[in-house]
Amino acid sequence: MVKSSALGYPRIGADREWKKALEAFWSGKLEEAEFHHQLQDIRLNHLRKQQEKGIDLIPVNDFSYYDHVLDTAAMFGIIPKRFSYEGGVVPLSVYYGMARGTKGATASEMTKWFNTNYHYIVPELADASPALTENKPLAAYREAKEKLGIEGKPVIVGPLTFLKLSKGYSQSEFDSWLDRLLPLYVQVLQELAAEGVQWVQIDEPVLVTKLSGPDIQRLKTIYETFAASVPNLNIILQTYFESVDQYSEIVALPVKGIGFDFVHGLSGNLSSIKTLGFPADKVLGAGVIDGRGIWKASLRGKLGLLEELTELVTADRLIVQSSCSLLHVPVTTERETKLSTELKNALAFADEKLNELVLLTKAIAVGSDGVKDELDHSDRVIQALQQSEERNRSDIQQAVAAVNSQKPERNLPFAERYAAQQAKWQLPLFPTTTIGSFPQSAEVRKARQLWRKGEWSQEQYAGFIREQINIWIKLQEEIGLDVLVHGEFERTDMVEFFGEKLAGFAFTQNGWVQSYGSRCVKPPVIFGDVAFIGEMTVEETKYAQSQTEHPVKGMLTGPITIMNWSFVREDIPREQIAYQLAYALRQEVEALEQAGIGMIQVDEPAVREGLPLKEAEQANYLEWAVKSFRIATCTVQETTQIHTHMCYCEFHDMIDSIEAMDADVISIETSRSHGELIHSFELNTYKLGIGLGVYDIHSPRIPSVEEMTSMIERALRVLDPKLFWINPDCGLKTRGLQETVDSLRNMVDATKIARAQHSAIV
């Protein structure tokens, strides 16, 4: 009989209780034993919910104390030497040290999980001595069975994906590392088989990327080894986020089941199955419910797809499942009481997606007549939103089409703009600045809450924000920064803030998702046509500039980042959404310039995150992403300096596109992977202004002057010193006041040393 399954469930809890427990433990407010107890309660509640909803194959070991890739590294004892790990079960102090850094050791690199907004900790293989420290999937399976009577489906990151995502080894060492890890994976699986586990989900999302001939051979080696070692264990090889290109080779692997994404990889995967068939001895995991989007599925359409698949695969060999883990969506819509009925009815978060999975599974078993009311309701709510006024604004559609028909470019090339800007600003060698935000203290958060509740008037709140700006303008001047920022104290989030001031956006009360570690974000919902309503940042920026003789940057979030960090409508192409956003932001850029702000930063940290996994689609995406940025920034005068910022990125394959954005200055987060990025610039000349982040703001440690001096000198080996800026990696919103001040003072001291060493350049 057809079964239902999810590939994973959100960790954070409906009230973000997971995040609160982590942060209480880190701050010393929660003892370790109580911490473990609280996380177990959260974990069991998530399993119980899936059990009560009727999910047949419930994932276990998808829960994490921080990150599932970090969990895999810890399970195999892959711990960098700087954390003084001595073997055995990895202590929480070491585990969280790898994620967040310690006073004596820098954190491991963090980067994006494929093309999602989730970020994982990159395993470091160099000098590691892998050994099985504890069988985490087995512990999770036992817990679910003993506590709730659930026959869980353990989830494991597969060996090919784990190695592909790791660093600290050369490509020539790949096979030797596989030889070292494979016996450990076998030991995990053998212990699961001995326990009586029925199904194991081995995640290999790397299979949707471009694989080489040796990679295919490695796959065969891995899964033939598993088949020989645990012949009676049902392994489902799980892919997601796109379609697989090497379909024939993958379906020939000796596993019991294979899961495919029939949402983001629908066209390619469906075509492969129709053309090449599906093995009669395997189970098909049909990922038909979107694990990344928040919209209700067109259930009638999904049922049609499943019926199409049952013509190729018998129902008893079909699992109806999410396209990927539900980690990427909020927990439930139940608590959303402020959205319009029209919009709320069209939303499906994790719990609602579980309901959709169960309903579709039932429909396959009993036929569509048995769920006719539910199918009709699905049609009605989707159609109601599609016909809404917000989605059919002809004025915006026509204006954006007119702007899009013109070539967006500055009035002068960079070299001439640079000369004009230097004449105007008279900046020193290696100008220092920050990325934009300063610490949001408990006082700042409380003030915002009082204002939102109506207990403070707009005048009271604006006065408080001005006080914070005054404090930080003075601090920046005392520290010795050259280009200042107002601090963004009025902003909860770099995307939400703008969405609240633009038409076409909606905001949830509890639509939180995990970004990295305990960092949770509440993405806006772009459900209609985006339009500029009025000035968004001019008041605070203009006030900050009035308090200092130093230049103050205006701070905006760019169109691609707003789009990529929002849940977006699915009825029009993402390219069109980006152009609507760019046109709206252009109007804000022009308003800042008219208010006398001559440096404007339009942040695009998420450009790389949106890069399609398929190489054939990447050039087109980068073309319209660059165009969107230029639409937003191209109308300013040559003396107005446009900055941008990017983070969490591997830039070697998009340096040309970054340069094509034509920003006067770009700052890039690099401290966790400084050497790799420096190598990119050894291979590619960059001719515009650039600042490579000289310290990691995600870690509470204060970097020394010597560390930052070393960072600066390495960058200056490959970059033009006259165009080089010095800044932290990212915004400082999450850091404490004193650590921020101390770190920036060290940064300025390191800059002074660099200026002395390179004074002849001036």
* pLDDT digit string, tens, across residues 41-71: 999 999 999 999 999 999 999 999 999 999 9
Angle at 579 between CA 577 and CA 583, to 5 degrees: 120
Average pLDDT over residues 333-345: 95
Look at residue 731 and tell me whether its pLDDT is greater than 90: no
Instruction: Determine the Cα–Cα distance for residues 590 and 546; give it in Å rounded to an integer.
Output: 19
Looking up tokens 């006719």, which residue turns up? 372
Assign 651 a pLDDT band (cuts: 50, 70, 90). Answer: low
* pLDDT digit string, tens, across residues 392-415: 999 999 999 999 999 999 999 999
Report the catalytic residues.
Answer: 698
Q: What is residue 676's predicted lDDT score, i.e. its pLDDT?
A: 63
In the chain the first and final C-alpha atoms are separated, in Å, by 76
3-state DSSP call for residue 597?
coil
Instruction: Determine the Cα–Cα distance for residues 134 and 515; give it in Å rounded to an integer.
Output: 27
* pLDDT digit string, tens, across residues 445-466: 999 999 999 999 999 999 999 9
- Contact, 431 vs 483, CB < 8 A? yes
- Reference 527, options 422, 627, 389, 373; nearest CA is 389
- Contact, 375 vs 302, CB < 8 A? no
State the alpha helices, DSSP H only, in 172-254: 174-195, 213-229, 247-251
Give the whole-number percent of the chain exceeding pLDDT 70: 98
Residue 29 assigned to a binding site = no
Residue 344 assigned to a binding site = no
Q: Inter-axis angle of helices 174-195 and 213-229, to 10 degrees?
A: 30
Q: How far is CA 194 from CA 27, 188, 231, 235, in A?
A: 40, 10, 12, 14
Task: Classify each residue of 661-684 as buried b or exposed e, where b means 16 or more C-beta atoms within 10 Å of its C-beta.
Answer: bbbbbbbbbbbbbbeebbebbeee
Assign 695 a pLDDT band (cuts: 50, 70, 90). Answer: confident
Instruction: Determine the Cα–Cα distance for residues 199 and 232; give it in Å rounded to an integer.
Output: 10
DSSP code at position 349:
-
The DSSP line for 697-757 is TTSSS---HHHHHHHHHHHHTTS-GGGEEB--SS--TTS-HHHHHHHHHHHHHHHHHHHHH
- Contact, 148 vs 47, CB < 8 A? yes
- Reference 620, options 589, 577, 575, 576; nearest CA is 575
- Contact, 610 vs 560, CB < 8 A? yes
Assign 112 a pLDDT band (cuts: 50, 70, 90). Answer: confident
Look at residue 361 and tell me whether its pLDDT is greater than 90: yes
Q: Report the chain's mean pLDDT, rounded to a whole number.
A: 94
- Reference 571, options 405, 426, 383; nearest CA is 383
Average pLDDT over residues 317-342: 97
Look at residue 671 and tell me whether its pLDDT is greater than 80: no
Q: How far is CA 417 from CA 422, 629, 636, in A?
A: 9, 18, 11
Residue 511 assigned to a binding site = no
Which of 54-58, 191-195, 608-612 shows the lowest per-residue confidence on average (mean pLDDT)? 608-612
Report strand pairing: 119-121 vs 153-157: unpaired
Residue 324 assigned to a binding site = no
- Reference 158, options 253, 37, 268, 82; nearest CA is 253
Q: What is residue 561's predicted lDDT score, i.e. its pLDDT?
A: 95
DSSP code at position 484:
B
Residue 54 assigned to a binding site = no
3-state DSSP call for residue 555?
strand
Residue 634 assigned to a binding site = no
- Contact, 481 vs 432, CB < 8 A? yes
Residue 445 assigned to a binding site = no
Residue 609 assigned to a binding site = yes
Look at residue 682 and tell me whether its pLDDT is greater than 80: no
- Reference 568, options 603, 531, 528; nearest CA is 528
Assign 129 a pLDDT band (cuts: 50, 70, 90). Answer: very high
Assign 368 a pLDDT band (cuts: 50, 70, 90). Answer: confident
Which of 201-210, 300-309, 608-617 shows the lowest per-residue confidence on average (mean pLDDT)? 608-617
What H or E segment, with its residue span, contains residue 48? helix 32-53
Residue 477 assigned to a binding site = no
3-state DSSP call for residue 677?
helix
Q: Residue 759, class by beta-carbon neighbours within 10 Å (0-12 exposed, 13-18 middle, 19+ buried)?
A: exposed
Residue 680 assigned to a binding site = no
Residue 520 assigned to a binding site = yes
3-state DSSP call for residue 322?
strand
* pLDDT digit string, tens, across residues 477-488: 999 999 999 999
Q: Please give the domain boundaries of the chain with CATH numbers for all domains.
A: 3-329 (3.20.20.210), 394-761 (3.20.20.210)
Average pLDDT over residues 586-594: 98
Edge-first strand listing for the sheet containing 318-322: 3-5, 318-322, 283-289, 257-261, 234-238, 199-203, 153-157, 59-60
Assign 647 a pLDDT band (cuts: 50, 70, 90). Answer: confident
- Contact, 544 vs 488, CB < 8 A? no
Average pLDDT over residues 675-691: 76
Residue 17 assigned to a binding site = yes
For the entire predicted model, the pTM comes to 0.90
Looking up tokens 């066209």, which residue turns up? 267
Residue 124 assigned to a binding site = no
Structure tokens that stand for 633 in this block: 């920034």
Look at residue 674 and tell me whether its pLDDT is greater than 60: no
Categorise residue 427: left if φ over 0, alpha if ψ from -120 to 50, beta otherwise: beta
DSSP code at position 232:
T
